[in-house]
Amino acid sequence: MRVGVEGCCHGELNAIYRALEDVSQRDGVPVDLLLMCGDFQSARFESDMQWQTMPPKYRKMMDFHEYYSGAKTAPCLTIFVGGNHEAPNVLSELYFGGWVAPNIFFLGSSGVVRVGDLRIGGYSGIYKPYDYNKGYFEKIPYDDSTRRTACHTREFEIKKLGEVREPVDVMLSHDWPNGVVDYGDRQGLIQKKPFFKDDLDRNQLGNTPAMLLLRQMKPRFWFSAHLHVKFASIIPHHQPPNGNNPNQRHQATRFLALDKVHERRPGAFLQILDIDMPSDTCPAGHWLIHNDGSDGSALVDAQGDSAAAAAAGADAAGAAQEASSAQQESSGPSEPLCIRYDAEWLSILRANHPNIPYGPHNRPHNTCAPTDDDRVHVQERLQQDAQDGRWPHWTSPDGDYRDLPGQRRAFLRLLSLEDTWDARDQHAPPPRPQAPPRQPPAPPLFARPPPPPPPPPAPRPAAGGADEEIDIDMDLGLDEEAEGAADGEALEHREKRAKTDADAGADGGD
């Protein structure tokens, strides 16, 4: 199967499909499937642009509305994940995935589907630690905050993908798993993007939970975008894979990140791969990147796997020619590709449907593995499915792809589940726990009883009526008449004392 991989779309579908057609005509082999790594910008109408996660001066009607209206049709089956510059009012309605236009499929907030012999998984958004543990609550009308948080990856999606046990061929994400740079040309990346150095030195470039997921799932390929630079690396898995059969999972993951659209440099944003290429086409410890011809082919050393790298002695030109011949001989699938349900993923969704987190509060979100009942129910429903396991394309007469909530409800009916998504904004955060009221201390045993309180003071009798003005000197206790009488008594006493003294003096002189 010939697969095209594209980096940041930014709504430039016409340029992307034009580059795809140029590659197909040059090589004489059509591209069967296109995978896009985010910033799709699915604005159908001008009213959708008001919710896009970008400053208003950058909002512009790009190309998607032409494909939504049917004026144009995607030349090949296209699958994409969401990034951090999206129209969240559109993609949020397809939480479980679905069609946004004929031949263009959104993988959902997280998802796993089958296309031909390939098993493709992925998640949408970017990693922000302060929103990672939140539930879902964003809804029209978005504000400046919720239009951004709606495009931030939730822990619940990563944990659901962590429940996948069967091997996955391709994983898609918008941001990079943290640590992939350590297995590629780190210095070359810093030369292209010098401002990455500080984040790399602090081990903060990328999505840390995504790297844990990569180590657990061990996909054959992992494609990303977001940082607007082309970068490749190989992440070896030294530990034996999980599962009963050690060969079920791949021993290394080929990581590739691609740039945004540059019409003069299609090799920066578009990669053509033959996913059916046998793993021994490239020498051990290397990964042959077959570009669209603008910058040739390149060999990427598997940094950190020195033994495998030392064993690589094949000539690069010979390997490139062999890969090109293998692609030229590939005739592609005999019938048009379609998207099929993945039974294991449906079982995981059914088991975890009651656990979908709603509300803006931060808290741990747990997932669970599907039970035997979940698996049996999914198998029975798929056997009864009139579409024979195909994801309905929602074009007449099967339905209208423009009815996004209708697609979601039909998907949930397949799993016999209730649609609770529309009520996500009605879940208020739990009230903050309040401290119990403080109780007075208990009296000690055998304590002496407290003395009785003193009696209240007697009220002072009013000197006049209620409206009479109170004299500020009333506490002196003397009025003018009393003061005059006291002065008269003192004068009379002094006069008697003086007469007595005079008489005594006269007697003494005789």
Which one of 23-32, 245-254, 310-319, 324-333 scores highest in mean pLDDT?
Answer: 23-32
Is 18 part of any domain? yes
Q: Which of 37-41, 147-151, 292-296, 401-405 has the lowest mean pLDDT?
A: 292-296
Residue 307 has pLDDT above 50, yes or no: no
Average pLDDT, the chain: 80
Percent of the chain with pLDDT over 90: 60
The number of distinct structural domains making up the chain is 1
Residue 123 has pLDDT above 70, yes or no: yes
Percent of the chain with pLDDT over 70: 69
Residue 97 has pLDDT above 50, yes or no: yes
Residues 337-346, mean pLDDT to the nearest whole number: 96
Is 424 part of any domain? no
**424-442 burial, b if ≥16 CB within 10 A, otherwise e?**
beebeeeeeeeeeeeeeee
The pLDDT assigned to 239 comes to 65
Residues 241-253, mean pLDDT to the nearest whole number: 64
DSSP string, 301-337: E-TT-HHHHHT----HHHHHHHHHHHHHH----SS--
Query: What confidence tier does 281 reach under pLDDT thresholds 50, 70, 90?
Result: very low
The structure's pTM equals 0.75
Is 52 part of any domain? yes
- pLDDT, tens only, 163-202: 999 999 999 999 999 999 999 999 999 999 999 999 999 9
Is 397 part of any domain? yes
Is 444 part of any domain? no
- pLDDT, tens only, 100-116: 999 999 999 999 999 99
Round to whole Å and give the CA distance between 97 and 349.
12
Q: How many residues does the chain have?
A: 510
Residues 241-254, mean pLDDT to the nearest whole number: 67
For 228: left if phi > 0, alpha if psi spans -120 to 50, otherwise beta; the answer is: left
Asked if residues 208 and 178 have their Cβ atoms less than 8 Å apart, the reply is: yes
Asked if residues 196 and 205 have their Cβ atoms less than 8 Å apart, the reply is: yes
Q: Three-state SS for 271?
A: strand
Is 140 part of any domain? yes
Is 509 part of any domain? no
Residue 490 has pLDDT above 70, yes or no: no
Round to whole Å and give the CA distance between 63 and 41.
9
Is 442 part of any domain? no
Give the residue numbers spanning the domain of 51: 2-279+336-415
Tell whether the torsion through CA atoms of 290, 292, 293 and 298 is positive or negative. Answer: negative
Q: Which of 250-259, 395-404, 467-476 has the lowest mean pLDDT?
A: 467-476
